[in-house]
Amino acid sequence: MPSFNVQRYGARGDGKTDSTQPFLTAWSLACGSEAPAMVYIPRGTYVVRNLVFWGPCKNIITFKIDGKLVAPDNYWSIGTSEYWILFAKVNRILVYGGIIDARGAGFWSCRKKGGQCPQGARSMTFNWANNVVVTGLTSINSQVTHLVINSCNNVVVRKVKLVAPDQSPNTDGLHVQNSAGVTVTDSTFQTGDDCISIGPGTRNLYMSKLNCGPGHGISIGSLGRDAKEAGVQNITLVNSVFSGSDNGVRIKSWARQSTGFVRNVLFQNLIMKNVQNPIIVDQNYCPNHQGCPKQGSGVKISQVVYRNIQGTSRTQQALKFDCSRSNPCQAIRLHDIKLTFNGRSATSQCKNIKGVKAGVVTPQGCL
Catalytic residues: 216
Pick the closest to residue 82 from 137, 113, 123 (CA basis). 123
Cβ atoms of 356 and 328 within 8 Å: the answer is no
Full 3-state SS string of 103-163: CCHHHHHHHHHCCCCCCCCEEEEEECCEEEEEECCEEECCCCCCEEEECCEEEEEECCEEE
65 in Cβ contact with 39 (< 8 Å): no
Alpha-carbon distances, residue 281 vs 244, 275, 290, 336 (angstroms): 19, 15, 20, 18
Please, which residues have CB within 8 angstroms of residue 103's CB and are 6 or more apart in sequence? Answer: 70, 71, 72, 73, 75, 141
Contacts of residue 234, Cβ cutoff 8 Å, sequence gap at least 6: 203, 204, 205, 264, 265
Rounded CA gap, 128 and 235, in Å? 21
Contact indicator for 276, 238 with CB cutoff of 8 Å = no
DSSP state of 358: E
User: Cβ neighbours of residue 181 under 8 Å, at least 6 residues apart?
Assistant: 153, 154, 155, 204
**324-359 CB burial, b ≥16 within 10 A, e <16:** beebbbbebebbbbbbbbeeebbbbebebbebebee
